[in-house]
Amino acid sequence: MTLQKPFTSRIFWSRPQRYTAGALVIAGSLLLAGCAGSSPADPGTTSPAASESATPSAAATPTSTPSAVYKPADASGPAQNVPVPVLPDVAKTETKEGLEAFAKYWYATLGYAYETGEMGPLEAVSDSSCSSCLRVRKEVTDWHSSGRWLEGGRVSVEAVDSNFVQSQPSTYQAIAQVKQEAIIYHLSDGAVKGRLDALPTTPDILVAKFVGNEWKAQTVEHMVK
């Protein structure tokens, strides 16, 4: 089978985001600290946040208990029985801890979208003006239609921190160290349309606003190209 030219860039996180000096300090400290031992999320065995991070704080994001055995996507078909991420109570508070827990949850819903094609959980916690979220929607929905599917793409969050300083009313920035598995794009007959290399650990900035007793992601971008 002849493969077409591999994909070379992600639709999501397509440009660096402007950030405050405080965000730079946080990002630098996260990069220096590192988080050895992190592994890709495995929704079948633990919570998204616990599998996204090797640190104890990640346990704040549980998932629903699967009623059937989780099976990741492979060459034979899409993922099956992927547990839906569950928003922890702390992520419903306008606090530093709440924002950091929300950021982990947001990435859990991102990984869920890539695995299942279901955008509901991600869109529920993303503002309608979030352009990066709209780019995710296009890629995910396009590649989970007409029998097509994505293999891989699971997201790991190694660390999250925030100085919790308002940039605008009830709007804050969090810095996350994020990586994503390689993605393989399958056509309905299982043929490989393209591949996208794994994203190495990369600092992201997530801007979120607390509105009506809940967080909404305003934008999520890489801090570097």
Contact 205, 175 (CB under 8 A): yes
Q: Are 30 and 159 in contact (CB under 8 A)?
A: yes
Q: Is the pLDDT of residue 21 over 80?
A: no
How far is residue 135's CA from residue 225's CA, in Å, rounded to a whole number?
A: 17
Let me know if residue 1 belongs to a domain: no
Q: Does the reported pTM lie above 0.95?
A: no
**Residue-level pLDDT at 32:** 36
Question: Residue 136 is part of a domain; what is its CATH number?
Answer: 3.10.450
Domain presence at residue 163: yes
Instruction: Report the pLDDT value the prediction gives residue 223, as an integer from 0 to 100.
Output: 86
14 domain-assigned = no
Q: What is the pLDDT of residues 91-144, one digit of tens each?
A: 999 999 999 999 999 999 999 999 999 999 999 999 999 999 999 999 999 999
Q: What is the pLDDT of residue 16?
A: 40
Q: What are residue 47's phi and psi, to 5 degrees?
A: -75, 155
Q: Of how many residues is the chain composed?
A: 225
CA angle 21, 203, 87 (to 5 degrees): 105
Q: For the segment 46-89, what is each residue's pLDDT rounded down to a tens digit?
A: 333 333 333 333 434 455 555 689 999 999 999 999 999 999 99
Q: Which residues of 197-216 are buried (b: 16+ CB within 10 A; e: fewer)?
A: eebebebbbbbbbbeeebbb
Say what the pLDDT of residue 211 is: 94
Output 43 or 199, whichever has higher pLDDT: 199
Nearest CA among 59, 96, 55, 51 for reference residue 215: 96
CA distance 76 to 71: 11
Q: Which domain holds residue 108?
A: 21-222
Per-residue pLDDT band at 5 (split at 50, 70, 90): very low
pLDDT value at 198 more than 60:
yes
**Residue 38 lies inside a defined structural domain of this protein:** yes
Could you tell me if residue 150 is inside a domain? yes
Average pLDDT over residues 12-19: 42
| Domain annotation covers residue 196 | yes
- Say if residue 225's pLDDT is above 70: no
Q: Which two tokens stand for residue 52?
A: 């996204």
Residues 150-168 have pLDDT tens digits of 999 999 999 999 999 999 9
Candidates 105, 41, 106, 50; CA nearest to 79 is: 41
Number of folded domains in the chain? 1
Query: Would residue 8 count as lying in a domain?
Result: no
Q: Is residue 15 part of a domain?
A: no
pLDDT score at 188? 97
